[in-house]
Amino acid sequence: MVLMFLLTPLYAYNPTADLTAYYEESSDTTICDATTFGIQSAGYPVACKIGTLHIERPSNDHEMYGLRLQRSGKWNNGNEYTLISTETINWQKQFGAQVVAKITRGSQPAVVQPINWSSGKDEFVSPTTLLGISDLPVHVDFYLGIRNIQNARQAEGVGFQFQGVGGHNVGDFQVISRRRVPKNQWEYIYYDEVVPIGSITNPVPFYSVNYNKDSSYFINGVGSDRRIYANLSIEETFPSGRFDLLQLVDASRLAIATARFTLSGYESTNSYGVSLVFNDLRGSNFPSFAMKHEDTEAYIPFDLYLGTETVVKGVPVVWNNLSYGSSNLKELSVGGISLSDAQNKVSGLYSDTISVHITPLDTNIVVQ
């Protein structure tokens, strides 16, 4: 009897999301005239780019209503932030600043608005508005508008930091939409639903770089790209992933592959983590993983292990202490097959297909 064990290429997704979002922090914080970005109507003469949020609908299976931010962390309750400059400009070294959004919905003209609601619930689309074809995708450019600097030339060569903010500068955010369900024949009930940013539903920072006072980073220049790219590869032990089942029943476990995480991009000495969810795609109803015969509906259940940890189908497994480079290794092995169970099955080729869903545990990790 021969077993073929196959792991499909990894991918990360939210199977229940009707909207998806992507956020990219800007590594270029150069201060420009507000007219350069087309946000002069917000009342700030100069600004720098914070990042870009893109929201789209992968399908039209469900109706979604409204779209807003939910801010948290050091978001300042809608008040302006204070920036401290390294040099005096217009007889001062402290400047008021606020987040400004330039929102484009589908093919509609862009709308510019400060992000300063005291509730932190800043609306892009009215909460009772059905998101139609003309509203999507939604593209939002975030800027930091700065007061009392007449033009960008005055800020040339000057660095800026946030005074007394702490934590993530200008805070964190989630994207919220709403579903509508009937309450009775006349009324509806709306309930909030978090739109995942990449594969993350927890709040993400506008700035992952620390621009607080006394840090080594300053606004007004081109910074480094601090994104870290994570790639999982499966290196099979046996040619074509096949081995004789008798090799397994005579041992408690059999190593079938090596899982390798490679971190590239921004080189950091920090350690990182991901959450992995393994699922069986062969259609069996077994609580564990199971191999299916190539021609019949015969199945052979088995256990899957990542390193020393037993993998439970559909349950997250955390892989911590990932470091920069390709030295992050764990053995993939199988076991839990009884000889009597295998002998009672139809002989032939059995195989299983397992998917791996990856969720980063750090916001600057991008899964490839």
Q: Using the predicted structure, report yes or no on whether residue 17 has a pLDDT greater than 50.
A: no
**Does residue 20 lie within any of the structural domains?**
no
**Whether residue 39 sits in one domain with residue 10:** no
Tell whether 23 is covered by a domain: no
Please tell me whether residues 256 and 313 are part of one structural domain: yes
Give the contacts of 315 (CB within 8 A, at least 6 positions apart): 277
The count of structural domains within the chain is: 2
- Integer Cα distance of 350 and 353 in angstroms: 11
Retrieve residue 141's tokens.
């450019």
Question: Per 3-state DSSP, what percentage of the chain is helix, strand, and coil (rounded to 5)?
Answer: 10, 50, 40
Q: Which residue has the higher pLDDT, 183 or 137?
A: 137
Instruction: Establish if 216 belongs to a structural domain.
Output: no
Whether 195 and 236 share a structural domain: no
Same domain, 351 and 232: yes
Q: Are residues 270 and 123 in the same domain?
A: no
Whether pTM exceeds 0.75: no
Residues 65 and 121 in one domain: yes
Least confident of 26-35, 60-69, 86-95: 60-69
Q: 222 lies in a domain?
A: no
Kindly state whether residues 287 and 253 are assigned to the same domain.
yes
Confidence of residue 367 (pLDDT cuts 50, 70, 90): confident
Answer whether residue 249 is part of any domain: yes
The count of C-alpha atoms lying within 13 angstroms of the C-alpha of 254, restricted to the half-sphere facing its C-beta, is 21
Do 196 and 52 belong to one domain?
yes
Q: What is the DSSP letter of 200?
A: B
Range of the domain at 332: 2-14+227-367
**Same domain membership, residue 249 and residue 354:** yes
Instruction: Give a yes or no: residue 196 inside a domain.
Output: yes
Q: In terms of domains, do 174 and 236 share one? A: no
Do 290 and 339 belong together in one domain?
Answer: yes
What pLDDT, in 10s, does the model give residues 245-300? 766 665 678 888 899 999 988 777 778 889 999 988 876 677 888 888 888 888 88
Residues 281 and 362 in one domain: yes
DSSP bridge partners of 195 = 175
What pLDDT was estimated at residue 29?
93
Residue 182's pLDDT band, with cuts at 50, 70 and 90, is confident
Q: How confident is the model at residue 59, as a pLDDT?
A: 61
Q: What is the token pair recorded at 302?
A: 């088995």
In a domain, 192, yes or no: yes
Within-domain flag for 218? no
Checking DSSP bridges between strand 81-89 and strand 2-7, what pairing results, if any? unpaired
The CATH number assigned to the domain holding 236 equals 2.60.40
